[in-house]
């Protein structure tokens, strides 16, 4: 099997670089392979499926994309020669300096919004671009955009096929043009050049490029013979990037073996990345927790995950790798799909998805980002003279260390959107499009959550050293700076050799990762005891070995682990005018308030635990990239020491009525209880009640309310969140 994989690698490399580059320049070019137009139900309208049968729309989409790409100077775009209008044949003259681009339409549908005298048919198209290396399949950048185009028609009148074709084309064209524009704003392929500075064995090398220069684990690079402008002699994959050097493995050799001084290049690294020497992050799933979600909620996990990826790419300094998205098929078995679904199968030069996946189309992240829709509901909301619907949705976003599965950070965020019902008497003249409304709401909530993460999550690297190995194999370690806590997991690294550049300059020590350790006790500040939890079984621990953990949140609290364990409604006075949300929603409010104080070390609320397991399937199953059999993995088995239970104890409204107005006083009281694992209360319950005033103005003749809230549930929600925030701020 290994020989077969190497054969496909060699074939791919030969295809991508079979003709020597005549110029000594290594200008990076881009070329577009074409659009995969989708078509499988239920995300594609039947009229769209009929529209793409003859291939003309695919040819138009490709032409629109090529024209837009050609207008971007830093893409240095050259169109492919095509045997027909539909598909491009891979250009065998393309060297490794050519970045290929492919497109996918993952949704094309029509939603009808009913109005009083007309209907509005909203055309919805979602498209994706991927920038990738043809030989290795490595994806350097991905971008997705959901576009829409409204078409108004007479009430009850269906659009004819000609108009449907016209509007789908307009929507697709507008989406593609905007998609290319946004990709150009955030991605510019750049050249990385380095040299081999040490040969450890026939398959293991050290190069003078590291994380500072933009190298990350899993990144593929080409190496060259004596003429660094000729065709590559093989391909490398980065195994252990360090600050200014990297351990790499030879994965293709079709010429002379690399030696000290051999030239190494990569052509697709993003020059517009805000920072290059950072931990690699990846969105790895965005499930919907069905028990807390309205049946009308139809937003697909792929769109949710892509919105989170795009939001974090734009708003934060995190280095985002292309996302891994997962979904359940109709049989309930896990189907792990890349951001481009089956487009890889269509355009892979290896001919089928299995071979291409085995060769590795994504680099492994250091940190997994897993989102979830924690709730989505619809509430009726009355305003004077109108019946409305409020769409509410909340998301939970959590960061985990990929190797240790250690929880690092979480963000809860929610929002609402008003949808109006147009009525005449008891007849509803216009119903809102709940599907489109939830999509718009979720995109907004996720974008706001990404901005919140960019502001709040400041990752850093924690390092320490082993100072002593005790007879029972317990380790004494000292950390370089504050921030570590008992229970934290760390990679253990040992020096392999001291590395010098070709000019004799010291590049630093080359480390190998051989174990994972956990801090077990704290004697004095920055000094801990630790235990080895998993190792390669071959490397003995030595004094001076390095402990390293990435992605730790700056400003994280110290002390025992806490967890929000539940939410109860136990008050004697709970007015029927309040419809409380699900307990999971209020647990999220409490968690977010606790996290914002920086006083508590927190595990995420346990109601999300099982739902995130599905996002692990792709990484564990080897579909994503061949699993490094030597890599040491660990399941995070930490449990909370202190549990926090929230209770809603009082919700009431007091009224003072006059002929012209109602003066309302809303009151809400909340209690939090701290317990241990056995359920014993550790502290007296902490309680707080607050009030807020509202006013309803009446019509002087009819007495009906013409201004002010009628449905008080949204007002109570806001008040309860304020109570939780104030109560938590005052703890300790």
The three state secondary structure string of 231-289 is CCCEEEEEEEECCCCEEEEEEEECCCCCCCCCEEEEEEEECCCCCCCCCEEEEECCCEC
Whether residues 99 and 25 share a domain: the answer is yes
- What average pLDDT does the segment 148-156 reach? 81
Task: Based on the fold, state whether residues 156 and 118 are members of the same structural domain.
Answer: yes
Domain boundary among 156, 172, 188: 188
Determine which of 204-208, 399-403, 508-512, 633-637 has the lowest per-residue pLDDT on average: 633-637
Inside any domain, residue 276: no
pLDDT at 402 over 50: yes
Q: Are residues 20 and 154 located together in one domain of the fold?
A: yes
* Residue with more model confidence, 284 or 489: 489
User: 472 with 547, same domain?
Assistant: yes
- Return d(Cα 37, Cα 200) in angstroms, integer: 47
Each as own residue / partner, the long-range contacts of residues 425-429 (CB below 8 Å, 24 or more positions apart, any chain) are 429/114, 429/115, 429/116
Top-confidence residue, 398 or 342 = 398
Min mean pLDDT across 111-120, 342-351, 625-634 is at: 342-351
What is the Cα–Cα distance from 103 to 105, expressed in whole angstroms?
7
The answer on pLDDT for 375 being more than 70 is yes
**Is 248 found in the same domain as 139?**
no
572 and 519, same domain (yes or no) = no
Q: Could you tell me the pLDDT band of residue 633, with boundaries at 50, 70 and 90?
A: low
Residue 551 — left, alpha, or beta (φ > 0 → left; ψ -120 to 50 → alpha)?
Answer: left
Confirm whether 203 is domain-assigned.
yes
Residue 22 has pLDDT above 50, yes or no: no
Distance of CA 487 to the CA centre of its chain: 26
- Of 512, 530, 510, 506, which Cα lies nearest the Cα of 520? 530
Task: Give domain status of residue 299, yes or no.
Answer: no
Domain hosting residue 111, numbered range:
1-188
What's the whole-number average pLDDT of the chain? 79
Task: Kindly state whether residues 515 and 649 are assigned to the same domain.
Answer: no
CATH number for the domain that contains residue 158: 3.30.160.150
Other C-beta atoms lying within 10 Å of the C-beta of residue 275 = 12
CATH number at residue 533: 2.40.10
Question: DSSP state, 537?
Answer: S
User: Does the structure show a pLDDT above 50 at 185?
Assistant: yes
The answer to whether residue 619 sits within a structural domain is no
In a 3-state reduction of DSSP, which class is residue 697?
A: strand
Residues 136, 161: one domain?
Answer: yes
Indicate whether 29 belongs to any domain: yes
CATH number at residue 265: 2.40.37.20
Co-location of 114 and 196 in the same domain = no
Q: Is residue 696 in a domain?
A: yes
- Backbone φ, ψ for residue 94 (5° rounding): -75, 125
Q: Are residues 96 and 133 in the same domain?
A: yes
- Residues 570, 657 within the same domain: yes
Residue 84 lies in a domain: yes
Counted domains in the chain: 4
Among 271, 292, 318, the domain-final residue is 271
- Report yes or no: 168 and 297 within 8 Å, Cβ to Cβ: no
Last residue in a domain, options 132, 164, 188 = 188
Within-domain flag for 608: no
* pLDDT band at 352; cut points 50, 70, 90: very low
- Helix orientation angle between 713-729 and 583-596, rounded to the nearest 10 degrees: 40
543 and 679 in one domain? Answer: no
Burial class of 572 by CB neighbour count within 10 A (0 to 12, 13 to 18, 19+) = exposed
pLDDT tier, 409 (very low <50, low <70, confident <90, very high otherwise): confident
**pLDDT greater than 90 at residue 499:** yes
């Amino acid at each position: 099997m290994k020989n077969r994989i190497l054969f496909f690698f060699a074939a791919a490399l030969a295809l991508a670089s079979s003709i020597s580059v005549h110029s000594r320049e290594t200008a990076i070019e881009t070329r577009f392979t074409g659009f995969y137009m989708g078509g499988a139900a239920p995300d594609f309208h039947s009229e769209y499926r009929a529209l793409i049968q003859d291939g003309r729309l695919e040819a138009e989409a490709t032409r629109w994309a090529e024209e837009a790409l050609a207008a971007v100077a830093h893409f240095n775009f050259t169109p492919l020669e095509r045997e027909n209008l539909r598909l491009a044949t891979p250009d065998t003259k393309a060297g490794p300096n050519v970045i290929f681009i492919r497109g996918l339409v993952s949704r094309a549908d029509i939603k009808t919004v009913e109005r009083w005298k007309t209907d509005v048919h909203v055309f919805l198209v979602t498209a994706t671009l991927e920038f990738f290396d043809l030989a290795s399949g490595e994806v350097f950048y991905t971008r997705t955009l959901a576009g829409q185009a409204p078409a108004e028609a007479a009430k009850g009148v269906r659009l004819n096929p000609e108009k449907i074709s016209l509007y789908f084309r307009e929507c697709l064209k507008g989406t593609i043009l905007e998609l290319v524009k946004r990709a150009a704003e955030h991605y510019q392929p750049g050249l990385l050049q380095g040299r081999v500075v040490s040969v450890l064995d026939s398959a293991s090398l050290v190069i003078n490029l590291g994380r500072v220069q933009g190298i990350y684990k899993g990144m593929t690079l080409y190496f060259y013979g004596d003429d660094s402008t000729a065709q590559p002699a093989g391909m490398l994959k980065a195994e252990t990037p360090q600050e200014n050097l990297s351990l790499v493995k030879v994965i293709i050799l079709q010429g002379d073996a690399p030696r000290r001084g051999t030239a190494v290049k990569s052509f697709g690294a993003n020059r517009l990345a805000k920072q290059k020497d950072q931990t690699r992050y990846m969105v790895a799933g965005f499930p919907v927790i069905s028990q807390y979600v309205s049946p009308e909620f139809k937003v697909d996990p792929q769109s949710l995950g892509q919105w989170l990826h795009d939001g974090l790419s734009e708003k934060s300094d995190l280095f985002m790798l292309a996302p891994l998205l997962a979904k359940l098929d109709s049989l309930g078995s896990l189907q792990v799909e890349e951001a481009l679904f089956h487009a890889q199968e269509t355009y892979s030069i290896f001919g089928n998805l299995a071979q291409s996946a085995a060769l590795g189309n994504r680099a492994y992240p250091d940190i997994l980002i897993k989102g979830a829709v924690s709730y989505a509901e619809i509430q009726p909301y009355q305003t004077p003279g109108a019946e409305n619907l409020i769409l509410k949705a909340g998301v939970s976003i959590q960061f985990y260390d990929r190797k240790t599965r250690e929880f690092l950070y979480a963000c809860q965020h929610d929002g609402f959107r008003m949808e109006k019902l147009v009525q005449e008497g008891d007849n509803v003249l216009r119903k809102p499009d709940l599907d489109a409304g939830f999509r718009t709401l979720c995109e907004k909530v996720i974008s706001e959550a990404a901005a919140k993460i960019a502001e709040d999550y400041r990752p850093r690297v924690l390092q320490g050293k082993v100072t002593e190995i005790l007879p029972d194999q317990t380790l004494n370690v000292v950390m370089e700076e504050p921030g570590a806590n008992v229970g934290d997991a760390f990679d253990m690294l040992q020096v392999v050799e001291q590395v010098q550049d070709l000019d004799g300059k010291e590049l630093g020590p080359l480390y190998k990762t051989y174990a994972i350790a956990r801090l077990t006790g704290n004697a004095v500040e920055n000094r801990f005891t630790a235990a080895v939890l998993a190792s390669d079984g071959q490397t003995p621990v030595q004094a001076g070995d390095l402990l390293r953990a990435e992605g730790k949140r700056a400003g994280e609290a110290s002390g025992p682990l806490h967890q929000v364990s539940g939410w109860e409604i136990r008050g004697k006075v709970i007015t029927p005018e309040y419809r409380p949300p699900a307990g999971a929603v209020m647990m999220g409010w409490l968690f977010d308030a606790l996290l914002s104080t920086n006083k508590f070390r927190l595990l995420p609320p346990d109601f999300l635990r099982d739902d995130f397991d599905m996002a692990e399937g792709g990484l564990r199953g080897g579909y994503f990239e061949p699993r490094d059999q030597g890599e040491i993995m660990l399941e995070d088995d930490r449990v909370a020491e202190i549990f926090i239970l929230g209770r809603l104890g009082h919700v009431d409204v007091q009224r003072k009525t006059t002929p012209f107005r109602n003066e309302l006083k809303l009151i809400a009281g909340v209690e939090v209880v701290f317990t241990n694992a056995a359920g014993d209360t550790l502290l007296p319950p902490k309680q707080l009640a607050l009030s807020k005033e509202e006013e309803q103005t009446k019509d002087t003749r009819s007495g009906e309310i013409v201004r002010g809230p009628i449905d008080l549930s949204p007002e109570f929600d806001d008040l309860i969140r304020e109570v939780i925030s104030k109560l938590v701020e005052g703890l300790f």
